[in-house]
Copies of this chain bind each other. A is one copy, B any other.
Amino acid sequence: MVEPTPLRSRRAAPEVRQADILDAALAEFSEHGFEGARMEDVARQARVSKGTVYLYYPTKQALFEALIMRDIAPRVALASVFLKGYDGPLEPALMRIVEMVGAAIASGKLPVYPKLLIAEAQRFPALAAFYRREVVGKMLEGLTTLFDRALARGEISGTTGEMAAHLFIAPILKSVMWQLVFAAAEEVPFAPEPYLKAHVQLFLRGLNHA
């Protein structure tokens, strides 16, 4: 007598469902943090039942980790390939990087992963370690290679490639955090693009850029 009215065609491919679930999880974790996110809301937003979420991800923590894994690996791979393959002059590369970050911030599609990681690192040391190794590590490696080559070419001088990499990313991190934390509280929003471009210029000058 009861006629179930599936909200979607009864069988979407499992990959599709998993993607929906992770999308929903991203939205919920972003908005409420790990503790604050409710599995029920994830399920509803993914248009599946609570049980289905548990079918693919046995715990809330597993869902969180899967989310991080999914979204980060391809981006890191892309960036890493770009950085390691690049052998041109430094300035355009750095400019391109900060332009991408600036555009991401401006578009409002800023990934909330850094914020989530900062907030939840203590709760999930394994996750922090993973992020440190696979994300931050890979990115720093790529940047270090970039700067090492520039040093070898004599394009810059006065530090090591690794140090340069660490120094270079600091204002990027600051811009991202600023946006994530203070966006709502700022009367006059702090524009990241001019800031990041000034950073590149000052940074290169500091490195005796030819």
Contacts and interface: CB of A to CB of B under 8 A. Distances in A.
A131 B186 CA distance: 11
A207 B119 CA distance: 34
B35 A202 contact: no
A73 interface: no
Given A170-B173, A206-B202, A118 B121 contact: no
A207 B129 CA distance: 36
Tell me what chain A mostly uses at the interface: helix, strand, loop, or mixed: helix
A128 interface: yes
A82 interface: no
Most buried by B among A133, A181, A184: A181
Given A133-B185, A167-B198, A173-B177, 20 more contacts: A31-B122, A33-B35, A33-B120, A35-B36, A115-B118, A118-B118, A118-B180, A119-B119, A125-B184, A129-B184, A132-B185, A132-B186, A163-B195, A166-B171, A170-B171, A173-B173, A177-B177, A205-B206, A205-B208, A206-B206
Interface of A: 31-33, 35-36, 115, 117-123, 125, 128-129, 131-133, 136, 158-159, 163, 166-167, 169-171, 173-174, 177, 180-182, 184-186, 190, 194-195, 198-199, 201-208
